[in-house]
Chains A and B, each alone.
Chain A
Amino acid sequence: MTALLEVSGVCVSFDGFRAINNLSFSIGPQELRAIIGPNGAGKTTFMDIVTGKTRPDSGTVTFGERSQSLLSLSEAEIARAGVGRKFQRPTVFEDQSVAENLTIALKAPRSPWRVLGWRESTADRSRVADLAGEVGLADALARRAGELSHGQKQWLEIGMLLAQEPRLLLIDEPAAGMTLAEREHTTRLLVDLAKTCAVVVVEHDMDFVRRLDCRVTVLHEGAVLAEGSLHHVTRNTDVVEVYLGRG
Chain B
Amino acid sequence: MRAPFLARNPSVLWFLLILALFTIAVTVLSEAYGVASLSTSFVKTLGKTLCLCLAALAMDLIWGYAGILSLGHMAFFAIGGYMIGMWLMYARTEEIVVQALSGGAIPATAEEIRQGIATQIFGVVGASDFPLVWAFAHSLTLQMMLVVLVPGGLALIFGWLAFRSRVTGVYLSILTQAMTLALALYLFQNDSGLRGNNGLSGLQNLPGLSEVSQDSISVWFFWASAAALALGYALIAAIVSGKFGSVIRAIRDDEARVRFLGYSVEGYKLFVFTLTAIIAGIAGALYYPQAGIINPAELAPIASIYLAVWVAIGGRGRLYGAVIGAAFVSLLSSWFTGGRAPSIPLWFTTIDWVDWWTVLLGLSFVLVTLLAPKGIGGIFDLWQGVRSPDRKGAPLGPDQGALQQSEARE
Contact = CB atoms under 8 A, between A and B. Distances in A.
Interface string B240-268: 00111011011001101111111111011
Contacts of A100: 246
Nearest to B258: A104
A94 interface: yes
Given A104-B261, A111-B267, A149-B397, 19 more contacts: A51-B260, A74-B264, A76-B262, A79-B261, A80-B262, A85-B260, A94-B403, A104-B243, A104-B258, A110-B262, A112-B244, A115-B242, A115-B244, A118-B243, A144-B410, A146-B403, A148-B397, A150-B397, A153-B397
Contacts of A144: 410
Given A89-B400, A118-B243, A104 B250 contact: yes
Nearest to A81: B262
A75 interface: yes
Contacts of A76: 259, 262-265
B340 interface: no
B407 A160 contact: no
Contact of A120 (B2, B401, B403, B408): B2
A89 B401 contact: yes
B17 to A, nearest CB: 26
Interface of A: 51, 74-77, 79-80, 84-85, 87, 89-91, 93-96, 100, 103-105, 110-112, 115-116, 118-120, 144, 146-150, 153, 160, 164, 177
Given A93-B250, A104-B243, A118-B243, A150 B399 contact: yes
Contacts of A80: 262
Interface of B: 2, 239, 242-244, 246-247, 249-250, 253-254, 256-265, 267-268, 271, 396-403, 407-408, 410
Nearest to B317: A95
Nearest first, the 10 A-B pairs at minimum CB distance are A79-B262, A146-B403, A80-B262, A112-B271, A75-B259, A76-B264, A91-B257, A93-B250, A116-B244, A118-B243
A119 to B, nearest CB: 8
A146 B261 contact: no
A162 B111 CA distance: 70
Given A76-B262, A105-B261, A110-B262, A91 B401 contact: yes
Contacts of A89: 399-401
A164 B261 contact: yes
A160 B264 contact: no
A64 to B, nearest CB: 15
A75 B166 CA distance: 13
B138 to A, nearest CB: 35
